[in-house]
Amino acid sequence: MEGLKEIRLLVMDVDGTLTDGAMYYGPDGEVMKRFMTRDGMGITLLHKAGILTAIITSEDTSIVRARAQKLKIEHVRMGVHDKSTALRLLATDLAIPLQHIAYIGDDVNDLHVMKICGVSACPSDAVEAIRNTANIICTSSGGNGAVREFAEAILLAQNKPITLEEQW
């Protein structure tokens, strides 16, 4: 896809995209989310190639904060209910035009933001409205490699390495 060549920032939803969408609760509230290490490596490969990453999510949990910190994702917006406005503000803050931003999400709260970015993607198990909107439907499901797949598509389109051997 032609638009992938110009991507300078990948923005990700969390639940259903970076995770499988399951939320594990104990008596004191949410205690765990499952993340795929391969998705994390995809984010690392983007960083090594000079492509920024960000998270915009309606959830506000220490779990997301910890995962973002581990992956060195500097731009994290949590508790966001208007993702389009959050994306526009982030684009302004980073001086990156919307057409140079990619977004991956899985559910209807991602719909509007997917329509204003340059390239949108979704996991294979995203809801129908999102699958009908996304420019790219990953073959992998949420929390099971969809982010990695999208990251590699961006890197390949830009002729950037997708292996550590070529970068480290």
* DSSP letter for each residue of 22-80: --EEETTEEEE--B-HHHHHHHHHHHHTT-EEEEE-S---HHHHHHHHHTT--EEE-S-
Q: How confident is the model at residue 165 (pLDDT cuts 50, 70, 90)?
A: low
Confidence of residue 103 (pLDDT cuts 50, 70, 90): very high
Bridge partners, 11 (sequence order): 54, 103
45-66 pLDDT, tens digit per residue, is 999 999 999 999 999 989 999 9
- CATH tag for 2-157 (out of 3.40.50.1000, 1.10.3720.10, 3.20.20.70, 3.30.830.10): 3.40.50.1000
The pTM (predicted TM-score) of the whole model is 0.94
Higher pLDDT, 166 or 158: 158
- Domain assignments of the chain as residue spans, ordered by start: 2-157
For residue 4, give the DSSP letter. Answer: G
- Give 166's pLDDT tier (boundaries 50, 70, 90): low
Cβ distance 119 to 142 under 8 Å?
Answer: no
**Looking at this protein, which amino acid is placed at residue 15?**
D
